[in-house]
A and B are shown apart, each in its own frame.
Chain A
Amino acid sequence: MAKSGKIFPVLASAALLVASVSPSFAAAPIKIGVAGAHSGDLASYGLPTLKGAELVVKDVNAKGGIKGELVELVLVDEQCKPEAAANVATKLVSDNVKAVIGHTCSGPTKAALPIYRDAGIVAISPSATTPELTQSGEYKYFFRTIASDDRQARTMTDFVLEKLAPKKIAILHDKGDYGLGLATYARKFIGESGKAEVVLFEGITVGQVDFSAVIQKIKRSGAEVVIFGGYHPEASKLVSQMRKKRLDAIFVSDDGAKDEAFIKVAGKDAEGVYATGPTDTTKNPLTIEYREKFKKAEGADPGSFFDNGIAATLAIINALDKAKSFTADDVATALRSEKVDTPFGEISFDEHGDPVGIGFNMFVVKDGQYVTAE
């Protein structure tokens, strides 16, 4: 990957100039890239990972780093835009990072992974959930510290079919990558089970002011349960307007809606809403430790995917430390074989790169709080 090998003699002087500016290789610390949305409208999904990684690396460096070398984070921002992701991925490659923590969203991850694969770099995402990232088998150096959409959909449909046991289910989604993916899996699993009928499968428009037409349609379909794949702004709008139109079908949503903001916005309409989310980690000592550190540094509660970001950073640092060398193959092997302690407890990774030990649970809003649903 080194640039120096291919420079034309004529331009050697110019190259020297550049080389003298860039840090010399001898004292180079181990670089790890952090790629994701650090600005723009989706920054609230990417920044917690970044802060988490910084906290972990601070601790690691305080203890002497990896194999005696200090760890340095290279932060790159792509605002969850695929075209920007391809650009920052090449930046990380040319910066010679040993691994990448990222990306935040699935689309940019898809755009960046071929570049990391070709360059031989391991990537570990705290929040990209599209199943095919791991299941397609195309990216053997890709890992994640979040369960994929199909597992979430499985948790969701199992709960709905067993505990709520409706006959008719309506599925809505926000036409986005995440929401549509989840909705599609939910439809598939419900169809396979044969226990209930999907009477409606519709996409809604994000940002639309009024959903009453689609709500009347749900009402007519006679669905007892509404499953929604998407994020909390649309989820709260839907559930509020459903209640206003006197439709009291049970509302079930996903991790995107399992957010404090959902409860605040939907208010009393949020009561009794189900949402899947990662297994409750609040009692884990690592979670408590890092949440406190974050609160001390930033003066606020960390946002989405903070635990996942911590887990990804801990896992990749552990793997780099245990691996025979920094080549992608060795690091990947270490990730698969070495167990690591994270806010989710002890985890490792299966042959696809999906985490073993991070699962989903169903939560329900009770008295203005999400509690684990029984």
Chain B
Amino acid sequence: MEYFLELVFSGLTRGSIYALIALGYTMVYGIIGLINFAHGEIYMIGAFTALIIATVLNMYGLPLPAVLILAAIAAIVWSAAYGFTVERVAYRPLRGAPRLSPLISAIGMSIFLQNYVMLAQTPNFLPFPTLIPEPAFLEPIASMVGTTDLTILLVTTVVMVLLTLLIKFTRTGKAMRATSQDRTMAFLVGVNVDTVISITFVIGSSLAAIGGVLIASHIGQINFYIGFIAGIKAFTAAVLGGIGSIPGAVLGSFVLGLTESFATGYVSSAYEDVFAFSLLVLILIFRPAGLLGKASIEKV
């Protein structure tokens, strides 16, 4: 029973990591129907920016809490800027182009950003500091779940709730929903579609930055390739949950994380990804729009 619980916590930790990245995927997909392959790279850039800024500030002798907060803010600012720029440069000129064009553009952007960071920084792994201290009162459960894990879990939940509220109740959220349902109609009723899409990218990228900082701190090291690997999994999770749906992305991530955890715990970690992808195929066969996605009826 304890083992089972341990596996559940492992699954939830992994799931919440996926979820932080998956939320950005699902938002962008919800608005413009594009698999933003470069999203994982934004996450990676967030982690790099945080590390760079933190190292510099540390050298100038700032106190640790200030370093942490400033580095996290820098990561968010720059990731958002990258997300915004990527959309402007690589996706906006392709509105209305055949469906495959933006996808190829996204793959190209992903390759470009990976190599950009590799060349400008380093191909090697860099150590990333542990940001969140482990207080003594959590020691009894430390063997099951760490402080960083709990923080990630908490942040994921808060972010999901905030996002859902944002989309349900704010003006921007309404504009987003309108844009995602029918871009032309949204434009006709006075929604500034370009701005809404830019806002979506900025929000999604900021989330990726938060994810980047927390996850890098959990793993303890970063290099230019971390975005790609995590990105593929996060995207799988988003599809599993029903891409375009915010709660779906989180649910899908947890389902994926738990599946992998149980696959490792009771079968073999060598086959965890086989289980993950097989689950994806199975779910899509029975629910073609994912767990919480809405099946769309095409107008004829």
Contact = CB atoms under 8 A, between A and B. Distances in A.
Per the CB under 8 Å rule, do A and B touch in the complex? yes
B13 A244 contact: no
B268 A267 contact: no
Given A216-B3, A220-B3, A203 B269 contact: yes
Interface string A228-255: 0000110011001000111100000000
A244 B14 contact: no
Contacts of B265: 213, 216-217
Interface in B186-229: 215, 218-221, 223, 225-226, 229
Interface stretch (A141-149, A258-266, A318-326): A258-266
A266 to B, nearest CB: 7
B220 A205 contact: no
A210 interface: yes
Interface string B232-271: 0000000000000000000000000000111011001110
Contact of A244 (B17, B124, B146, B273): B146
Interface stretch (B4-12, B69-77, B95-103, B105-113): B4-12
Contact of B270 (A41, A43, A202): A202
Given A233-B125, A261-B125, A214 B269 contact: yes
Nearest to A266: B220
B87 interface: no
A41 B123 contact: yes
Given A236-B221, A246-B143, A44 B124 contact: yes
Contacts of A284: none
Contacts of A219: 6, 143
Given A210-B17, A212-B10, A265 B264 contact: no
A247 B146 CA distance: 13
B201 to A, nearest CB: 23
A43 B123 contact: yes
A265 B3 contact: no
Contact of B17 (A41, A209, A236): A209
B197 to A, nearest CB: 29
B220 A209 contact: no
A214 B264 contact: yes
B269 A265 contact: no
Given A233-B125, A266-B220, A267-B127, A217 B13 contact: no
Interface string B145-161: 01001000000000000
B264 A175 contact: no
Interface centre among B17, B218, B269, by most chain A C-beta atoms within 10 angstroms, is: B269
Contact of A205 (B11, B142, B272): B272
B53 interface: no
Interface string B38-70: 000000000000000000000000000000000
Given A213-B261, A216-B265, A266-B220, A175 B125 contact: no
Given A233-B125, A244-B142, A265 B13 contact: no
Interface string B123-135: 1111100000000
Interface string A58-91: 0000000000000000000000000000000000
A204 interface: yes
Given A245-B142, A267-B127, A240 B272 contact: no
B230 interface: yes
Interface SS of chain B: helix
Contacts of A240: 220
B105 to A, nearest CB: 24
Contacts of A266: 220
B221 A233 contact: yes
Contacts of B143: 219, 245-247
Contacts of B13: 210, 212
Given A203-B270, A205-B272, A236 B220 contact: yes
B10 A210 contact: yes
A246 B272 CA distance: 24
Contacts of B269: 202-205, 213-214, 217
A209 B219 contact: yes
Nearest to A245: B143
A136 interface: no
Contact of B218 (A175, A202, A210, A232): A210
Contacts of A24: none
B273 A213 contact: no
Nearest to B264: A213
Nearest to A175: B270
Contacts of B14: 209-210, 212-213
A208 interface: yes
B30 to A, nearest CB: 24
A78 to B, nearest CB: 17
Interface centre among B124, B142, B219, B225, by most chain A C-beta atoms within 10 angstroms, is: B219
Contacts of B221: 233, 236-237, 265
B17 A212 contact: no
A240 B104 CA distance: 38
B82 to A, nearest CB: 21
Interface in B162-192: none
A207 interface: yes
Given A44-B124, A209-B219, A232-B125, 14 more contacts: A203-B269, A205-B273, A209-B230, A212-B6, A212-B149, A213-B262, A213-B264, A213-B265, A217-B264, A236-B125, A237-B219, A240-B220, A244-B142, A267-B220
22 contacts: A41-B118, A175-B270, A203-B270, A207-B230, A209-B14, A209-B17, A210-B14, A212-B6, A212-B10, A212-B14, A213-B261, A213-B264, A213-B272, A216-B265, A232-B125, A236-B125, A236-B220, A244-B142, A265-B127, A265-B221, A267-B127, A267-B220
Interface of B: 3, 6-7, 9-11, 13-14, 17, 118, 123-127, 142-144, 146, 149, 215, 218-221, 223, 225-226, 229-230, 260-262, 264-265, 268-270, 272-273
Give me the 9 closest cross-chain CB pairs, A-B, nearest first.
Answer: A203-B270, A207-B229, A212-B10, A213-B264, A213-B10, A216-B6, A246-B143, A213-B261, A265-B127
